[in-house]
Structure 1
Amino acid sequence: MPLTEPRTYIDVHILQTVPPANLNRDDQGNPKEAYFGGVRRSRVSSQAWKRATRIHFTERIPEQDLATRTRRISSTLTERISAITDLDDEASARLAGALLKPLKISGGKREGDTAYLFFYGRRQLDDVAALVRDRAAELAALEDKELAAEIEKLPVQEKFSSGHPMDVALFGRMVADLPALNVDAATQVAHALSTHPVELEFDYFTAVDDETQKGQETGAGMIGTIGFNSATLYRFASVSLHQLLHNLADGEAAVTAVEEFVTSFARSMPTGYGNAFAHRTLPSLVAVVARTDQPVNLVSAFEEPVMAASGIAAASARRLAREYANATRAWGDTPSFTALCHTFDDSVDTAKLLDETFAEPVAFPELLAGLRTHLTDTVGRAAR
C-alpha cells in the first residue's frame, strides 16, 4: 500500500516504577543517565528496550516467523543449504558465498563474518537457500566465474526485499553497501527517562568461598561493587501504521504487528543484572493514542522534575494527564482513538483525572482488543 494513504500514528505512553536495578549499563558499568530539566535522570536507551521487545516477541511468535540480526549470515546460509541438499559443508559454503556476493555486503575481520550485523527474516534466508536446492550439484560443479554468472540470474536481492517478517517491518533495516535492501522503520522508540531526579548508588558486595570457610579461614573470596538506581520511568514509542502497511503489504498483518508491538513493549524489560536485582515489574499506566497528524512525545510533562516525597508514580500520572490535556487543547488535535489501562486506586484524584483526560480505564487485553478493532476499521477505510 503506498504511503499516500491516510497517515495513522499509534503513540504508546507508559509509566513504570522500577526498584533498585541496573537495567542498561554505560561504559563504566553503571546505569545510564541523562540531564533533563536541569537534573540528572535515570535513562534506559531506546536500543535496550527495542531489543527487550524483540526478545519478548520470541515468547509469543514462532521463531521461523521472526528475524535474526547477525554477522554470521554466511554460516547460517551454509547450514540451510546443507540441510536441503546432498552437498557437503565445503560445497555448501561455496554456494552460500556466491549467493551473498551480489549483495555486496562487506566482509568482517573473521572469515565468513560480515562487517556489520545484518537483520533478515529466517524465512527470507530459507527462500534464498531454496533458489539453489534443485540445481545444487550442478552449480557446485561449476568454476567460480561460471558459478557467479549463474547466481547473477537468481533473484537473491528480491528475496531479501520482500516478505519481511514483523520485526524487520517494525524496526527497519539499513545496509550501507546496498541501499536497495534498506527498510524504513515503522517504529520510533524514545529513551526512557525518570520523571524525577535520581542519584547513582553502589552496592558493595562480598562473596564467600565455601571451601575456605570449612577450614575456618577468614576473609571474603571476592569483593566488588555494582552501580544501581531506582526510578519511575516515562516510556514512549510510536508506530506508523501507514509505514507498516508499506513494509508488509498486508493490512491484517500490519494490524497484528501493532498489537504485538504494544503487547511486547509494555510487558518487556531489559535484563541487565536481572539475577542480582530481580527488577521485573509491570507498568502502572499504559495509554495508547491513535493520531492522524504526528507522533507526540509527552516527556515535556516532566521537564520540571516530580519532587514528591512519596507517591512519585501517582504524581507522574497526574502530570502526564495534564500535559496530554493541554497539548490536545492548545493544538486543537483530536485523536481518533484513545485507550487507557492503569492501576491507580479509584478513590484518589489520580484515577479521576486520568479517566477524564484519556478514557475510562480497561484491562490490558481489552485495550488491545479495542485498538485492533479501530485499526482494522482504519485499514478497511483506506483500502476502499
Structure 2
Amino acid sequence: MRPENTPEDPMALPASRTYIDVHILQTVPPANLNRDDQGNPKEAYFGGVRRSRVSSQAWKRATRTHFTERLPRQDLATRTRRVAAALAEQIADGKACDDESAARLANALLAPLKISAGKKEGDTAYLFFYGRRQLAAVASLVRDRAAELVALDDTALAEEIKKLPVQEKFSSGHPVDVALFGRMVADIPALNVDAATQVAHALSTHAVELEFDYFTAVDDEQKKGEETGAGMIGTIGYNSATLYRYASVGLHQLRENLSDDEATVSAVEEFLTSFARSMPTGYGNSFAHRTLPSLVAVVVRTDQPVNLVSAFEEPIAVTSGIAAASARSLAQEHARAVRAWGDTPALTALCHTFDESDDTAKLLESAFGEAVAFPELLSRVRAHLAEVPQRAAR
C-alpha cells in the first residue's frame, strides 16, 4: 500500500524550495519617508509601544526605482493605466501607420484580454504591470501588417486579432521586477504572476515620538520696511529611527517566473543590491535623509522564510547606541531560532559597519559568520545559489 500523502507519480514530488531572507538594520535621521493620510510619518503599535513604520509598498517602489539606475530601461517593467496609448506608440514607431490607426490597432489588440475600462477614455480600470519588451512583442504582431489590418472593418479586424498570441506575449518573457514582485490582473487570472518576493513593513526597533517642524518661507520680493511677516507658514511631521527591514525571495518561484537559472541568480543579486541601497524619497529635499544600512544579513534557507522582528518585540531601550543594541538583539534572536527549531541555514552572509573589536561584532559573527564587504556578500550568495539546481538534482 502506498503511504498516505505519497504522490502516485514520482515526478509529482514538490520541487525543492530555497528562500533568501534579507535582514537589514538602518538608522534614519529626522525624516518623513512614508506619509499617512494626515501627512505624518506612518506608525504602528508593536510590543505595546508606538513605532516608526515604512510600508512595504514604499520600499518596493524605491527598490524598483533603483533598478532603473542599474538595468537597461527596456529590460524593466512599467505600471500604468495608459497601456493602450503606450501600445499605440509602439505600433506607430517606425511610421508603420498614423497615430489614429495605431490607436485603433492597439485597442483591437487589447480587446480580447477584456481588461476593464477606466473612467477616462483609453485608460484601464486599474494599473497594469507589464514588461516593456512584452509590450514591444505585442506591437510587433501587427506592425508589419498595419496597412492591411487598418483597411479591415471592426468585425474583420477583431477576427484577425483573435488569431494572434497577445495573451501569450504578456505571459512570457517577464522582466525582473514583474518576476520578483508579481502581477495581479483581476479580470484575467491567466495573466497573473505569483510574486517571488515578500517585503515586510519596516519597523523601528525602539519606541518613537512624532515631532513637528514648524517652518516659514520668506517672500524674496517683499518690500523691506513696508511689509512684514512670512510668505508661507506650515508644519511637517517627522521622526527618527533605527529601522529593522526584512524581505524574502523564493528562489523556486523566481525560477518559475523567469525560466532561466542564470537570470534567476542575477535577479536575486539585483534585488539584494537595490533593496539594500534604495530609500523612499518622501520629503527628501526637506530632510536629506538618505543613509546606508549599518547591517545586512542574508540567510539562505530550505525550510521557510523567517522574519526576525520578534527580536524587537521588547523595544530597544538605550538612549544611545541603538543600532548596536539592535544588532546584538537580532543576532541573539537568530541564534535562538536556529537552536530551538533546528533549522540550520544553508548559507549565512554578513556585512556590517560596527567596530570589529567590540562585543557587537563578535556576537554577529557567532550568529551569521564572518563579516565581509557588501560586494563580497553578493559574490558569496551568487556562488551558493548558482549551485542550487545541481544540488537539487542529486
Q: TM-score range by the shorter chain?
A: over 0.9
For structure 1, the residue ranges without an aligned partner over 5 or more in a row are: none
Which residue does the alignment assign to 1:223?
233
Q: Secondary structure at the match of 1:229?
A: strand
Give runs of ≥4 in structure 1 deviating > 2 Å: 2-5, 213-217, 379-384
Match of 1:71 in 2: 81
Query: Does structure 1 retain, via aligned residues, the 8 Å contact 2:96–2:144?
Result: no
Stretch moving more, 324-333 or 3-12? 3-12
1:232 equivalenced with 2:220 (yes/no): no
1:369 to 373, 379, 382: 379
SS of residue in 1 equivalent to 2:116? coil
Of 338, 343, 354 in structure 2, the residue corresponding to residue 333 of structure 1 is: 343
Could you tell me the TM-score, scaled by structure 2's length? 0.96
What is the one-letter code of the residue matched to 1:107? A
- Answering whether residue 299 of structure 2 is matched by residue 252 of structure 1, we say no
Partner residue, 1:99: 109
Query: Paired residue for 2:6?
Result: none
Could you tell me which residue of structure 2 aligns to residue 142 of structure 1?
A: 152
**Equivalent residues of 2:96, 2:143 under 8 A apart:** no
- Cα deviation for residue 3 of structure 1 reads 9.3
In the aligned structure 2, how far is the partner of 1:77 from the partner of 1:334? 49
How far is the alpha carbon of 1:215 from its aligned partner?
5.1
Structure 2 counterpart of 1:280: 290
Q: Is the 8 A contact 2:174 2:258 kept in 1?
A: yes
Q: 1:281 to 1:129 in 2, by over 3 A?
A: same
- Of 196, 201, 218, the residue aligned with 2:206 is 196
- Identify if the C-alpha distance between structure 1 residues 3 and 364 changes in structure 2 by more than 3 Å, giving closer, same or farther: farther
1:168–1:183: 8 Å Cα contact kept in structure 2? yes
Instruction: Indicate whether 1:359 and 2:369 are aligned.
Output: yes
Partner of 2:48: 38
Listed one character per residue, the Cα deviations across residues 249-268 of structure 1 (whole Å, up to 9, x for unaligned) are 00000000000000000000
After superposition, what is the alpha-carbon deviation per residue over 1:92-117, rounded to whole angstroms, capped at 9, x for unaligned? Answer: 00000000011110010111100000
The 3-state SS of whatever aligns with 2:104 is helix
Which residue of the partner structure matches residue 320 of structure 2?
Answer: 310
Which residue of the partner structure matches residue 278 of structure 2? 268
Aligned residue type for 2:61: R
Could you say what secondary structure the match of 1:212 adopts?
A: coil
Task: Calculate the aligned-residue CA RMSD, in Å.
Answer: 1.3
Count of aligned residue pairs for this structure pair: 384
Measure, in 1, the Cα distance between the counterparts of 2:323 and 2:13: 39
Contact 1:21/1:273 (8 A) holds in 2: yes
**Secondary structure at the counterpart of residue 235 of structure 2:** strand
Q: How far apart, CA to CA, are the structure 2 residues paired with 1:86 and 1:365?
A: 46
Contact 1:206 1:224 in 2 (8 A): yes
**TM-superposed deviation, 1:346:** 1.6
Q: Check conservation: 1:85, 1:133, Cα contact below 8 A.
A: no
Q: Distance in 2 between matches of 1:266 and 1:111?
A: 40
> Which residue of structure 1 aligns with residue 5 of structure 2?
none
Which string of whole-angstrom CA distances, capped at 9 and with x for unpartnered residues, describes residues 194-252 of structure 1?
Answer: 00000000000000001105455210000000000000000000000000110000000
Offset from partner CA, 1:291-322 (integer Å, 9 cap, x none)? 00000000000000000011000000000000
Q: Deviations over 1:13-47 (max 9, x none)?
A: 00000000000000000000000000000000000
Q: Does 1:156 align with 2:152?
A: no
- Residue 183 of structure 1: CA displacement? 0.2
1:323 is the counterpart of 2:333: yes
Identity score, percent: 79
Superposed CA deviations along residues 325-364 of structure 1, whole A, max 9, x for unmatched, are 0000000011001000000012221011001111110000
| Residues in 1 aligned to 2:20 and 2:13: alpha-carbon distance in whole angstroms | 16
Report the residue type matching 1:218 in the other structure.
T
Given that 1:85 and 1:136 are in contact with CA atoms closer than 8 Å, whether structure 2 keeps it comes out as no
AA partner of residue 338 (structure 2): T
Task: Give CA deviations for 1:268-302 in whole Å, capped at 9, x if unaligned.
Answer: 00000000000000000000000000000000000
Q: Normalising by structure 1, report the TM-score.
A: 0.98
Q: Which amino acid aligns with 2:220?
A: D
